[in-house]
A and B are shown apart, each in its own frame.
Chain A
Amino acid sequence: MNWKAFAAMLARDAHVARRNAIQLFLQTFLQPLLFVFIFGRVMVGSGYLPAAYKSLLLPGIIAISMVFTGIWAVAMPLIAEFQWTREIEDRLLAPIGVAWIAIEKVIAGMLQALVAGLIVIPLAWLVLRPGVEISIGAPWTFAGVIVLVATFSACGGLALGCSINQQHIGLMFGMVITPMIFFGCTYYPWSALKTFPILQKAVLINPLVYASEGLRATLVPQFPHLSIKVVLMALLLFDLVLLVVGLRQFEKKAVS
């Protein structure tokens, strides 16, 4: 393992992220904040939704922001660099094992997802206040959840970015990402699906469910949520499976 090369690649990704900071910021936060404003302020303020919805919504918004930052940060450059600009070849020729280049991408994606989560919390709180009741009762569990969520997003980005054809990016958003958000228990708790028993079972294959429910369990435990043990196990499983799939796909793309 060549740590110098690994660190240099991370430095390169940090440098590029810094250069595109404003664009990244708008791309990551504008949509969730508009959603927070409309549903948390307008709908609650006008009495169509109960005041408690503000607190219920926040964990879901954090989950969406983190997951899509991570997926976007890893998948989009990989799709472009492998299929179009071939930019990644410079790093594929660096003196480091090919799998480590993929792992570097995952670490960079995780860091971006964590930063997105940490920024969206105060931003959403600013838009929603007053009346948001967050309490981090178990900080270590919370930390565990957000690290697993960040890892899931980056590994998901790796698997998608190395599997999807450039001309199918639109399809990826329509067919994978949009249903994932709407069936991801982001805007409602999982327990709200109990009147749709089949759907309630079916959404359990959606990793975003565990991200939203995990954040709900650790930030707003006063609402019903999935057991934290189930959440941690499921996230860990998704992380591992997506990492293995992603690494395999990456190596297939890297060597013809």
Chain B
Amino acid sequence: MAVGVRTQDLRKVYSTAPPLGAAGLFIARADAKGGKQPKTQIPALDGLSLDILPGEIFGLLGPNGAGKSTTIGVLTTRVRPTSGQAWIGEHDVWKEQTRVKHLIGVVPQRPNLDFSLTAREILIFHAAYFGIGSKQRNERADALLARFKLTERANQMVRGFSGGMMQRLSIARAMMHDPQVLFLDEPSAGLDPQTRILLWEIIREYHQTGRTVLLTTHNMEEADTVCQRLAIIDHGHVIALGTPARLKASIPGGFLLRLRFGNQTADLLQRLQLLAGVREVRAADSTGADVYADRGGSLIPEIASLAANSGAELSDVHISEPSLENLFLHHTGRSLRD
């Protein structure tokens, strides 16, 4: 039976540098009292609650430092939350660690392969840690090496492997013990387009055997094409949740027109709001405006003439169609890549 994943009000504050893969967080300084040196407090998760259904491909989408890797860390017994709870199936991650480790497979953001072993030995020993018998682990290792196109390199030390090969082997290793829940932290970062497509295919295939998959990404295409549901997170909490289609539909109008003027007046923004099809207008710094609308290109002549009438010359226009990128921008005022 498929296994779900749940977190309730997770908080994590690092008092030292966060672990690799969770770096890039914003830093806040706590008040210094009693003449002590101010202590660096790095909040990574701020009341994160998620409910991932059994057998679903779920994506955590957010910019660097949003708390994606920390969430995976908490769910995989590697990061102890400051408060809150996490469950894999009905097992509390922090009370039943060994049981939980049986159920999960983890692909880290940065390869952590055992450099003292060959590719094949890495898979075989991994299976042995999980108590899988010798015959079965040999068969499974051969099958996964073939599936990930690593058979030719199976008996070589992994030290000389390319980044893409290491990533493939990391995923094969995570699948060796046939976990109920597969965690992938930025699985396609640094992969060439071909390998990325192979990876997506393999994730879907694995999911079809009734497994739950949780992946983090800041790649829109990946979130859109692979994930059944997404949580968009920023500063350690969920800012939007739903299927990619529903999330995109929640952007007012769908189209986003990012405009830039020579100069801009409040009056201009109000008049933009009145154009047919415009749903929302937001000032973006002193000379720009973000216009959310039902239509894209056909609005441009009207905007241009409106700008000319109010003495603000239109200097730049960028039109984007409904996308998760726009959704993120709509919620946070920032681009995912900022």
Contact = CB atoms under 8 A, between A and B. Distances in A.
Interface string A10-21: 011001100110
24 contacts: A2-B98, A5-B128, A9-B129, A11-B125, A15-B121, A86-B20, A86-B112, A89-B106, A90-B113, A90-B129, A92-B77, A93-B101, A94-B101, A94-B129, A95-B98, A95-B131, A97-B98, A254-B78, A255-B78, A255-B79, A256-B73, A256-B78, A256-B79, A256-B80
B115 A85 contact: yes
A87 B114 CA distance: 5
Given A2-B131, A96-B98, A97-B98, A90 B126 contact: yes
Contacts of B101: 93-96
B110 interface: yes
Nearest to B183: A93
B69 to A, nearest CB: 11
A95 B113 CA distance: 18
A8 B122 CA distance: 12
B97 A16 contact: no
B19 A95 contact: no
A5 B131 contact: yes
A69 B125 CA distance: 25
Interface of A: 2, 4-5, 8-9, 11-12, 15-16, 19-20, 85-98, 254-256
Output the residue of A92, A94, A256 with the most chain B CB within 10 A. A256
B79 A94 contact: no
B18 interface: yes
Contacts of A95: 98-99, 101-102, 129-131
A16 B121 CA distance: 11
Report the interface size class on chain B: 20 to 34
B113 A256 contact: no
B110 A87 contact: no
A103 to B, nearest CB: 15
B102 A87 contact: no
Nearest to B100: A95
Given A4-B131, A8-B128, A255-B78, A87 B108 contact: no
Interface of B: 14, 18-20, 73, 76-80, 97-99, 101-102, 104, 106, 108, 110, 112-117, 121-122, 125-126, 128-131, 173
Given A5-B129, A86-B112, A93 B106 contact: yes
B128 A93 contact: no
B79 A90 contact: no
Nearest to A3: B131
Nearest to B70: A256
Contacts of B19: 256
A86 B110 contact: yes
Contact of B125 (A2, A8, A254, A256): A8
Contacts of A9: 129
Contacts of A91: 129
B196 to A, nearest CB: 23
Contacts of A86: 20, 108, 110, 112
B128 A90 contact: no
Interface centre among B19, B99, B116 (most CB of A within 10 A): B116
Contact of A93 (B18, B76, B79, B117): B76
Contacts of A98: 97
Given A95-B102, A255-B78, A19 B116 contact: yes
A16 B117 CA distance: 7
A11 B134 CA distance: 13
Contact of A255 (B77, B102, B106, B128): B77
Contacts of B110: 86
Nearest to B101: A95
Contact of A89 (B108, B121, B122): B108
Contacts of A92: 77-78
A114 to B, nearest CB: 21
Contacts of A16: 116-117
A97 B131 CA distance: 15
A16 B114 CA distance: 10
Nearest to B177: A95
A10 to B, nearest CB: 10
